[in-house]
Amino acid sequence: MDQMSSERERLEQVLEETLAKIEQLNKKLEDKADYGLGKGGPTIYEWEFSLALRQSLEAKAKSIRAALRKTLEGNYGVCEACGQEIDVERLAVLPHTTLCIKCAQAKR
């Protein structure tokens, strides 16, 4: 029980950090009008990079939310595909993962 609540705190923290990064990127992306030719500032490529980064962060935020839901349901750390417990070490690196290493590799 205590372990689950600390997992939840950890996930909430990661979610917060991720959302903060998305927020920063949103501000950056709003400046699109200033990006461009010959200004010596950020280029359109950087803008596109920020956009791609935001998309991956949004995907991450989504999976963190899914993991948080799992802590509430009491099946956090259980692989969605095969039902095996996910390695603690894997969860330490990827707290929001929903697949064990075998299933994650098989998915590729």
Using CB under 5 A, list all residues that contact Zn ion: 79, 81-82, 100, 103
DSSP code, position 99: S
Give the nearer residue to Zn ion in terms of CB position, either 29 or 104.
Answer: 104
Q: How far is the CB of 106 from Zn ion (least distance, A)?
A: 8
Give the nearer residue to Zn ion in terms of CB position, either 20 or 106.
Answer: 106
Q: How far is the CB of 75 from Zn ion (least distance, A)?
A: 13
Select from 24, 31, 25, 30 the least CA-distant residue to 50: 25
Give the nearer residue to Zn ion in terms of CB position, either 39 or 107.
Answer: 107
Q: How far is the CB of 82 from Zn ion (least distance, A)?
A: 3
Which sign does the torsion angle of CA 94, 6, 66, 85 carry? positive
What is the Cα–Cα distance from 48 to 70, expressed in whole angstroms? Answer: 33
Token pair listed for 38: 């010959």
Give the nearer residue to Zn ion in terms of CB position, either 51 or 81.
Answer: 81
Select from 96, 97, 98 the least CA-distant residue to 10: 96
Q: How far is the CB of 91 from Zn ion (least distance, A)?
A: 13
